[in-house]
């Protein structure tokens, strides 16, 4: 059995990872690629988004696949995948596995994880792509050590959303990134609109081979997370109004909410709030991720609205 390529996608919350994965799903149609979606929260959202695009997705939720609390589950999933996927009643070896790491993941321990679990007998990392939003990257580097690890691990760094920022600012942040990893290829794009072949390339990851690090902490003091289950319907206008106030310390909000007007997929990142009509879901839940060192007013307001 030949070694199965792994294509690792990293990037902070809201940088555009899911957008990129949707493009890859369309590019790999019929090639038996699998998508492993690592959700930091206990509630899976992104795997469902990928399946809507026609991809085969498996969620590993509740932390980072690079922390000890999730490694066993991740290894189990990868071993099952290596045994083959069912295509028309026949077990077929996957053409590749695309892994979307949690936005908080530090992937520098990837080679160590594969070796210690003996997954390196079935897989090799063909490439690591990091997606960054130049508008928030410098601030994130100051407060979140894992972001630097994402850049150091990358073979390809995509500067996404460049249409929202001045060329001078993008150039300045590009210089900052090159000071961390001068070996990776850097590309500028909008909506992650790049040639999929640049990501799904052959060979191996040169950057990861230069790195070695301990596994991520299961309880990272830089992050707090909570799944807010809404007990009843809410007015969409009331939900949207909460994001017009102070948002200090807030990192990410994402999920499906049942509103008076119907079901909506709601997500917030540094780029702003968006909401779109959605099909009914099993639960009305928003996952919220924030900096516990800052008393985030909006987290308390969302709890009150959910109650």
pLDDT in tens, 122-174: 999 999 999 999 988 888 888 788 889 999 999 999 999 999 899 999 999 99
Summarised one tens digit per residue, pLDDT across range 95-135 is 899 999 888 888 989 988 999 999 999 999 999 999 999 98
The answer to whether 4-210 and 224-306 have equal CATH topology is: no
Residues facing residue 289 across a β-bridge: 225, 252
235 vs 196: CA distance, rounded Å: 40
pLDDT of residue 211: 77
Highest mean pLDDT out of 5-9, 45-49, 102-106, 246-250: 5-9
pLDDT higher than 60, residue 199: yes
Q: What residue ranges in the chain does DSSP mark as E strands?
A: 4-11, 33-39, 56-61, 85-87, 90-92, 96-100, 123-132, 156-159, 185-188, 224-229, 250-259, 262-269, 272-277, 285-290
The CATH architecture that domain 224-306 belongs to is: 2-Layer Sandwich (3.30)
Summarised one tens digit per residue, pLDDT across range 11-32 is 987 888 889 999 999 998 888 8
Alpha carbons within 13 angstroms on the beta-carbon side of residue 180 total 21
Among the residue ranges 196-205, 219-228, 260-269, the one predicted with the least confidence is 219-228
**pTM of whole model > 0.75?**
yes
pLDDT of residue 88: 67
Residue 156: name the closest of 194, 124, 106 by CA. Answer: 194
Please state whether beta strands 4-11 and 123-132 pair in parallel, antiparallel, or not at all (unpaired): parallel
206 vs 208: CA distance, rounded Å: 6
Q: What are 273's two structure tokens? A: 């709030």
Q: What is the enclosing helix (H) or strand (E) of 185?
A: strand 185-188
Average model confidence (pLDDT) for the chain? 88
Q: What are 4's two structure tokens? A: 């199965």
pLDDT of residue 84: 83
Q: Where are the domains of the chain?
A: 4-210, 224-306
CATH of domain 4-210: 3.40.50.300
pLDDT of residue 266: 94
pLDDT of residue 1: 57
Give residue 241's region: left, alpha or beta (phi > 0; psi -120 to 50).
Answer: alpha
Q: What are 49's two structure tokens? A: 């988004």
């Amino acid at each position: 059995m030949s070694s199965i390529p792994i294509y690792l996608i990293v990037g902070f919350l809201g940088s555009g990872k899911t957008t990129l994965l949707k493009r890859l799903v369309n590019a790999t149609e019929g090639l038996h690629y699998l998508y492993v979606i690592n959700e930091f929260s206990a509630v899976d959202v992104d795997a469902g988004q990928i399946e809507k695009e026609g991809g085969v997705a498996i969620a590993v939720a509740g932390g980072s696949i690079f922390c000890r609390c999730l490694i066993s589950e991740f290894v189990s999933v990868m071993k099952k995948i290596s045994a083959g996927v069912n295509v028309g009643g026949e077990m077929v070896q996957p053409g590749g596995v695309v892994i979307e790491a949690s936005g908080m993941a530090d992937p520098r321990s990837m080679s160590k994880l594969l070796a210690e679990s003996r997954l390196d007998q079935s897989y090799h990392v063909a490439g690591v792509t990091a997606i960054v939003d130049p508008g928030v990257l410098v601030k994130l580097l100051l407060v979140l050590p894992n972001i630097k690890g994402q850049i150091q691990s990358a073979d390809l760094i995509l500067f996404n959303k460049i249409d929202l920022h001045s060329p001078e600012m993008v150039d300045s942040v590009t210089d900052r990134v090159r000071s961390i990893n001068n070996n990776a290829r850097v590309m500028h794009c909008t909506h992650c609109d790049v040639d999929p072949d640049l990501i799904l390339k052959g060979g191996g990851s040169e950057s990861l081979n230069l790195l070695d690090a301990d596994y991520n902490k299961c309880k990272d003091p830089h992050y707090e997370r909570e799944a807010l289950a809404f007990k009843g319907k809410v007015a969409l206008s009331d939900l949207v109004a909460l994001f017009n106030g102070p948002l200090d310390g807030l990192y990410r909000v994402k999920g499906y909410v049942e509103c008076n007007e119907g079901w909506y997929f709601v997500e917030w990142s540094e780029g702003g709030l968006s909401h779109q009509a959605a099909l009914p879901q099993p639960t009305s839940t928003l996952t919220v991720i924030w900096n516990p060192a800052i008393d985030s007013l909006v987290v308390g307001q969302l709890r009150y609205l959910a109650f």
